């Protein structure tokens, strides 16, 4: 990707809302969480929102790190590997009970499936299909408006 800071944030928010929301809806029933589906959805959507909100901070960090790259680009793999620190932070916050709105306990396996599949789907869409409806997106640093 060739993002600007504004483009990074817009892309993250839109893709998490649309693609992430869709994936969360689909995988909710199959996640190994011993709770009613309404609770599962509540927890997973709260996690999704946390990824979006904290992500704004992460994007600022990535933008800062990108300044050391001559090309001012963000290689494809970086977009995938950044799942590790982001996922780890969300998990630690979950364990610490620092994410408001979570009901009960989210098992690690369920979190891994939820976070991993959402991240993978968003990353895949950002690296290709996103360009189909939004032909100006890649030339505008990832901005949609």
Partner 1 sequence: MANYNHPGAVSAGVTGAISVLTCTNVDESGGHQVTDQPTGVAGGAESQAQPETVQHRRPAGDPRVGAADGTPPGSGDLTDELLRSDQWTDEMVRAAGIPVTDVPFVSVGGGIGSFVTVDYLRIAGVATDRIAVLSNLDFPWQTYEYLTRVSQIPRPERIRSDSASRPDNIWGFPSYAIAEAIGDRTLAPLWQVLIEPIWADYYTPKAGRVFAGLEREAKRIDFAKMLVKGQVRMVRRRQGGGYFTILTPMAGSAQTKRLAYRSEFVHVAVGYPGLKYLPELQDFRTAQQDFHHVVSAYEEHEHIYEAAKTKHLVVMLRGGGIVASRVLQRLMDDRERLGLSTEIVHLFRTYITSSHGPNAWNRRKGAHGFAYQGFNYPKSVWGGQLKSEMRRLEGQQRAEKYKLMGGTNTPFRRRWQAQMKDGRQGGWYRTMAGAVGEMRLDHGMIVSCVKTATGMVEVPADFVIDCTGLEADIAEHRVLADLLAHSGASRNPIGRLDVERDFELRGAGSGSGVMYASGAATLGGYFPGVDTFLGLQVAAQEIVDDLARRGFCRRIGPLRSTRQWLRWARNKQP
CB 5 within 8 A of CB 142: no
Query: Smallest distance, Å, CB 18 to partner 1?
Result: 12
Nearer to partner 1, 32 or 129 (CB): 129
Residue with tokens 């998990």: 91
Which residues, 6+ apart, have CB-to-CB distance to 59 below 8 Å?
Answer: 5, 8, 9, 12
Torsion 86-89-94-98 (CA) sign: negative
Query: Smallest distance, Å, CB 41 to partner 1?
Result: 28
Displacement of CA 24 from its chain's centroid (Å)? 11
Q: At what angle do helices 83-95 and 37-66 cross, to 10 degrees?
A: 130
Nearer to partner 1, 17 or 98 (CB): 17
Query: Smallest distance, Å, CB 23 to partner 1?
Result: 20
Nearer to partner 1, 36 or 129 (CB): 129
Query: Angle at the Cα of 112 (from 116 to 73), degrees rounded to 5?
Result: 35
Nearer to partner 1, 97 or 136 (CB): 136
Query: Smallest distance, Å, CB 110 to partner 1?
Result: 27
Query: Smallest distance, Å, CB 13 to partner 1?
Result: 17
Nearer to partner 1, 3 or 28 (CB): 3
Rule CB under 8 A: which residues touch partner 1? 1-4, 7, 66-68, 70-73, 75-77, 80, 128-129, 131-136, 138-141
* DSSP state for residue 138 in the 8-state scheme: G
């Amino acid at each position: 990707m060739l993002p600007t800071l504004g483009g990074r944030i817009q892309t993250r928010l839109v893709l998490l809302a649309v693609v992430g929301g869709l994936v969360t809806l689909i995988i909710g029933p199959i996640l190994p969480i011993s709770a009613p589906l309404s609770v599962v959805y509540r927890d997973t959507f709260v996690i999704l929102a946390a990824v979006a909100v904290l992500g704004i901070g992460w994007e600022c960090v990535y933008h800062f790190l990108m300044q050391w790259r001559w090309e001012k680009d963000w290689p494809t793999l970086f977009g995938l590997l950044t799942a590790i620190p982001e996922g780890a932070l969300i998990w630690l916050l979950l364990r610490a009970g620092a994410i408001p709105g979570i009901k009960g306990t989210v098992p690690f396996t369920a979190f891994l499936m939820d976070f991993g599949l959402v991240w993978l789907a968003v990353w895949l869409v950002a690296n290709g299909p996103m360009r189909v409806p939004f032909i100006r997106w890649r030339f505008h640093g990832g901005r949609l408006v």
